[in-house]
Amino acid sequence: QVLWHLDVFRRSFRQLSGHACMGNSCIFCALKVIFTQFQYSDETALPPDALRKALAETFEDQQRFQLGFMDDAAECFESILLRIHYHIANEVKEDMCNAKHCISHQKFAMTVVEQCMCGCGATSEPLPFTQMVHYVSVTAMIAQGKEMLDKTKKPYPEMFGQLLKNAGGVGDLRNCPSNCGERVQIRRMLMNSPEIVSLGLVWDTDQPTVEHIMDVINCLGTTIRLVDVFHSVVDDSAAGKVLHLVGVVTYYGKHYSTFFFHTRLKTWIYFDDATVKEV
C-alpha cells in the first residue's frame, strides 16, 4: 500500500517489465500482481498475500518475514527495495548502484559520507555508504526537541530537519583522527538527491507511555530540507529541495496501520489490511 500510494514509485514501477524472475519467491512479480489488483479491483481493501508469500520464501534461510510472524515494517520496506534492485539491476552492487532504471536507488537511496573533522585540522578517512531509511532514536529526538524549544520558544519551519540532524549526533563522538585529545562529532554529507526520504523511528521500548508517544508526535514536522538533515549537501538540486510528508506507518497493539496523503483526492486516508477510509 505504501509503495502504491507513492506516486513517484508507482509511475516508475509501471514502466518496468524485464527483470530477473525468481519464480514463487519473486518480489517483483508479486508487486506487479498487487498493483494490478489495486488498479482494477472493486474491493476497498486487498490483502497482500502474494507479496507476503514471496517475502517468506526469499528470506526463509534468515527466518525473516515468515508467514504468521510480525516483523519490523521499516526493515521490510528496505528489504523490498533492495530485492527490486536485485531483480532489475543485479549486475551492479547495491552500495555502488547508479543504474538509471533502478528505481530503488534513483528514487529512495541516500548516498552518505561520514567523516570526522577536528578543529586541529585532522580529518578521518571518508566512509561512504548507502541507506534506504534514515533512522533516528525517538529518545534522542525528544531530548533534542525540548532543548531546541527552550532556546527558540516556538517551532520554526526548518526545525524538524535540524532536529533529525541533532538527534542523529547524540552520543556519537569519536577521538580526533590525530589523537590531539579532542572528541569530535561525526559529520554526515549527502552526495545525491533522493526524491523520497524515508525516516525510521527507533523506540527504546515496545510499551511506551501515552506521554512518550505524544512527545514523539509533537516532535514531528510535515516538511524537511535536506540541507537541515545533513551537515552538508553536495548535489545542487538536493540543496534547494523541500520534501513534504506524505505517509506515516504506525504500530500499536501488534497491528500496523498507515496514513497516506492521496494526491488526486487531496486528502489523507487511513488503511490497514481490512480497512480503507478518509481521515
pLDDT of residue 135: 96
Question: Which helix (H) or strand (E) is 145 found in, with range?
Answer: helix 138-152
Estimate to the nearest angstrom the gap between the alpha carbon of 141 and the chain centroid. 16
Q: How far apart are CA 20 and CA 41, in angstroms?
A: 27
The torsion of the CA quartet 39, 45, 48, 50, rounded to 10 degrees, works out to -60
3-state secondary structure of 261: strand
pLDDT of residue 276: 83
Question: What are the grid coordinates assigned to 36, written together?
Answer: 494490478
Question: What are the grid coordinates assigned to 141, written together?
Answer: 529526538
3-state secondary structure of 222: coil
3-state secondary structure of 136: strand
Which residues in the chain land under pLDDT 50? none
Query: How crowded is residue 63: how many other Cβ atoms within 10 Å of its Cβ?
Result: 9
Pick from 134, 136, 165, 173: which is nearest to 148 by CA? 165
Return the beta strands (E) in 96-231 as ranges.
110-116, 127-131, 133-137, 173-175, 183-190, 198-202, 223-225
> Contact 261/268 with Cβ under 8 angstroms?
yes
pLDDT of residue 45: 66
End-to-end Cα distance, the chain: 16
The domain limits of the chain are 1-107, 109-245
> Contact 164/141 with Cβ under 8 angstroms?
yes
pLDDT of residue 73: 86
Query: How crowded is residue 136: how many other Cβ atoms within 10 Å of its Cβ?
Result: 21
pTM: 0.90
Q: How far apart are CA 56 and CA 50, in angstroms?
A: 10
Chain segment 159-218, per-residue pLDDT in tens: 999 999 999 988 888 999 999 999 999 999 999 999 999 999 999 988 899 999 999 999
Q: How far apart are CA 206 and CA 251, in angstroms?
A: 10
